[in-house]
Amino acid sequence: MAARTLADLFAGAGGLSCGLEMAGFRPLLANELNPTAAATYRLNHPDTALLEGDIRQISAAELTARLGLNAGELDLLAGGPPCQGFSINAPVRSLDDDRNHLFKEFMRAAETLRPKAVLIENVPGIISLGRGTVVEQIYRELARLGYKIAHRILFAGHYGVPQLRFRTIFIALRSEKADIAFPPPEYAATAAANFTGARELCLDILPLFHQRLKPQTTVWDAISDLPEINPEQQEEMLPYAAEPANDYQKFLRHGSSQICNHRCNRLSTINLDRLRHIPQGGSWRDIPFELLPAGLQRARRSDHTKRYGRLDPNGLCSTILTKCDPHWGSFFHPTQDRVISVREAARMQSFPDRYHFTGSLTQQYEQVGNAVPPLLACAIGRTIIKMLEQC
């Protein structure tokens, strides 16, 4: 069967395209504003037409011409319009944030291309933004274009990703024949949703089905075959430390004979002193009081549970952020006195090892942290293909 066609807007480094390609889509067209992320996308998707630049400056005629399809022929338009204005962690969430209005540009592309299906991903915080008016606007605009639409909050751990990450997923179909579905959980991973007002949108695992699911993918499942490094190490390519120990490692190592992007940020002397007191699965609570940052000396013991955390090899990783900074989560390596490397962060996100990230170390961490986990995207993509087959 021929691959389904895909256009990926606000593509970043290409996590969504990577996963959808695993599912059976062929990315024909992508758009990305950031030049370093665009370079990474281009490197890993050389056969995709990449429109680098501000989508507001790309005309409908250029979109159609570069895609090479007539309106209505594209199978899937996908994208994650910038979410900083929606994030629960953002200091202010406002409809007036310019980044939020890039949704209008996504809708303009949908009206121009008239794809058979639409996929929008974003942070859980989008649900409550403007007291729900952003979600209402997405529904209203897609309904105006003739789509039926549904949305859920999906937990990446349910699809084999070793990470505490939730994403809001909107799926729309230009058909009345197929019912909109979301991929059912495949792995028995659990996490407490740290957002309010949207728990009913999460997919739960019923006790009856829990034993039928695969065991969750753990931190150690993800990284145990990678070589030890130190922050001074500058090699671009490194050999694997061991043979793959599990199916997850076999899957991510396919097509790769060496490790790239396996470098990490240096720690300050004070953070190294703090780290030596933190056991696996521990956090800032294990640091002697006199070594704590001033803010955490004033904190309640129930606050900031993941800060200065050392990863539990048998658990899940904190949500990978644009900075693997110990002040914001559990990003200390479980057995080495350092933060996780870019490649280890990419492993937590389920990027294949053959996926190379360009730019400075800081830019590489940013690209990985901003990405959609490919295995999550793959599960969604397979479900969309099944729905398209019913149309």
Q: Is the domain defined by 4-208+373-390 classed in CATH 3.40.50.150?
A: yes
Measured N-to-C along each axis, helices 133-144 and 102-113 cross at an angle, to the nearest 10 degrees, of: 20
Give the mean model confidence (pLDDT) for residues 274-301: 93
Average pLDDT in the chain: 91
pLDDT at position 208 is 56
pLDDT at position 319 is 93
pLDDT at position 111 is 95
Which of 18, 83, 260, 264 is labelled catalytic? 83
pLDDT at position 264 is 96
Q: Is the domain defined by 219-370 classed in CATH 3.40.50.300?
A: no
Residue 83 pLDDT greater than 70, yes or no: no
Q: Could you give the CA distance from residue 170 to residue 119 in angstroms, rounded to a whole number?
A: 6
pLDDT at position 87 is 54
166-173 and 148-155 as β-strands: parallel, antiparallel, unpaired?
antiparallel
Give the mean model confidence (pLDDT) for residues 71-90: 77
Q: Confidence class of residue 235 from pLDDT cuts 50, 70 and 90?
A: confident
pLDDT at position 207 is 57
149 pairs with which residues across the strands?
172
pLDDT at position 85 is 53
Q: Confidence class of residue 200 from pLDDT cuts 50, 70 and 90?
A: confident
CATH 3.40.50.150 location in the chain: 4-208+373-390
pLDDT digits (tens, 9 = 90+) for 16-63: 999 999 999 999 999 999 999 999 999 999 999 999 999 999 999 999
Amino acid sitting at position 125: G
Q: Confidence class of residue 86 from pLDDT cuts 50, 70 and 90?
A: low
Residue 72 pLDDT greater than 70, yes or no: yes
Give the mean model confidence (pLDDT) for residues 78-97: 63
pLDDT at position 30 is 97
Instruction: Based on the residue annotation, tell me whether 202 is a catalytic residue of this protein.
Output: no
pTM assigned to the model: 0.94
Q: Could you give the CA distance from residue 328 to residue 371 in angstroms, rounded to a whole number?
A: 18
Give the mean model confidence (pLDDT) for residues 123-148: 86
Tell whether the torsion through CA atoms of 297, 298, 301 and 307 is positive or negative.
negative
pLDDT digits (tens, 9 = 90+) for 151-193: 999 999 999 999 999 999 999 999 877 789 999 999 999 887 7
Q: Could you give the CA distance from residue 50 to residue 27 in angstroms, rounded to a whole number?
A: 10
pLDDT digits (tens, 9 = 90+) for 269-286: 999 999 999 999 999 999
pLDDT at position 97 is 59
Q: Confidence class of residue 94 from pLDDT cuts 50, 70 and 90?
A: low
Give the mean model confidence (pLDDT) for residues 74-89: 75
pLDDT at position 209 is 60
Residue 131 pLDDT greater than 80, yes or no: no
CATH 3.90.120.10 location in the chain: 219-370
